[in-house]
Chains A and B, each alone.
Chain A
Amino acid sequence: MPSPDIVAFFIMGAAAVACAIGMVTTKNPIHAALWLVGNFISLAVIYLMLKAPVLFALQLIVYAGAIMVLFLFVIMFFMSPEARRWLHPPLRSQLLFGGLATIALIGLLGWGTAEGLGNLGYADPFEQRDLETTHADQSEHMGDNPRDLGTWMFSYEVLPFELTSLLLLAALLGATMVARDVREEGRGRLVHHAAVEHPGASTNGAIATHQPVEVEA
């Protein structure tokens, strides 16, 4: 009889894989988002089993909370009924080469994982080790609390942490720049340019008229 945490891991791992497959096979973005939430939650439980409670909480808050809300906002805002046209099936060649590359990647990752785990001493990954005896030589202090993580992060990884804040600021500004409405904002200048260089040419490539274009602002 396997130990309870192994059983729990297999349940959560099966849920994660099932949710991932469901996400990849669906064509509806909203269904994909819901499958992805299931995958995030089961992965969060696995983080908890690996004694990373901080990342468990972050996974739930940031991924299953914030990032999924962002995805759903975009999907819901722009999912018009006539936009269902791009719910088209994948191309046949895409399926063929994607499938071949996937099989090759499975082989590569399987080989690499087996090789790497063998080097680390997990020659037989399905071997059941006695957890109590292997944990006995370690103290009960296993670095599984938020305090240890914070101490370690601010002792040894301060610079990457600060660079992360810079990255988030840059992403904030970049997202604002990219998503702004260019057409409304740039119209005045574009019309001005066109009117100066080619009087009478309309700005958006339509047929030029002989009426001078009103330059706004």
Chain B
Amino acid sequence: MGYDFNPLISYSVMLSAILFTIGVAGVMVHRHPVIIFMCIELMLNAANLALIAFNRHHYSQLWPSLDGQVYAFMVIAIAAAEVAIGLAIIVSLFKRRVRIDVDEINLLRG
């Protein structure tokens, strides 16, 4: 065993679930693409929190794994890449159209 039994871990997992849910609600309710992107960032952060909490839980002297933190690191890198691409798409939309609404953006090209 040697697991780290810490109440912070279970609280963190609950907080992660709450934040993820808020992010999903925001993605579904909003129509502004920039705010939808921020909600996606919120969900990625919630996932990161769960990764770090479970890494804390599973870290042991027998198998000192830090995979959770490593993958949280990679999630941050992927989030940065995703934001760059997504905001580039939004910039090109802003250049072409007056009205920005995710319900009206239905073309991949044109």
CA distance A151 to B14 in the complex (A): 30
For B25, list chain A residues within 8 Å (CB).
24, 98-99, 101-102
Known: A24-B22, A129-B7, A148-B64. A52 touches B72 (CB 8 A): yes
Asked if A54 contacts B73 (CB within 8 A), the reply is: yes
Structural contact, A94 and B49, CB atoms closer than 8 A: no
B55 contacts A175, C-beta separation under 8 Å: no
Interface size class of A (residues with CB under 8 A): 35 or more
Return the chain A residue nearest B18 by Cβ: A17
**A62 CB–B CB distance under 8 Å:** yes
| Shortest Cβ distance from residue B6 to the other chain A in the assembled complex, whole angstroms | 7
Stretch at the interface among A163-171, A188-196, A198-206, A208-216: A163-171
Q: How many Å from the CB of B44 to the closest CB on chain A?
A: 9
Contact among A97, A105, A142, A182 with B24 in the assembled complex (CB-CB below 8 Å): A105
Residue numbers in A under 8 Å from B89 (CB-CB): 178
A63 and B91 contact, CB distance less than 8 A = no
B residues contacting A by CB (< 8 A) are 2-15, 17-26, 28-32, 34-35, 37-39, 41-42, 45, 48-49, 52-53, 55-57, 59-61, 64-67, 69-74, 76-85, 87-92, 94-95, 98-101
A interface list, Cβ under 8 A from B: 5-6, 9-10, 13, 16-17, 20-21, 23-24, 27, 29, 32-33, 36, 39-40, 43, 46-47, 49-52, 54-55, 58-59, 62-63, 66-67, 70-71, 74-75, 77-78, 82-83, 85-88, 90-91, 94-95, 97-99, 101-102, 105-106, 109-110, 112-113, 116-117, 120-122, 125-129, 131, 134-135, 137-139, 142-143, 148-149, 152-153, 156-157, 160-161, 164, 167-168, 170-172, 174-176, 178-179, 181-182
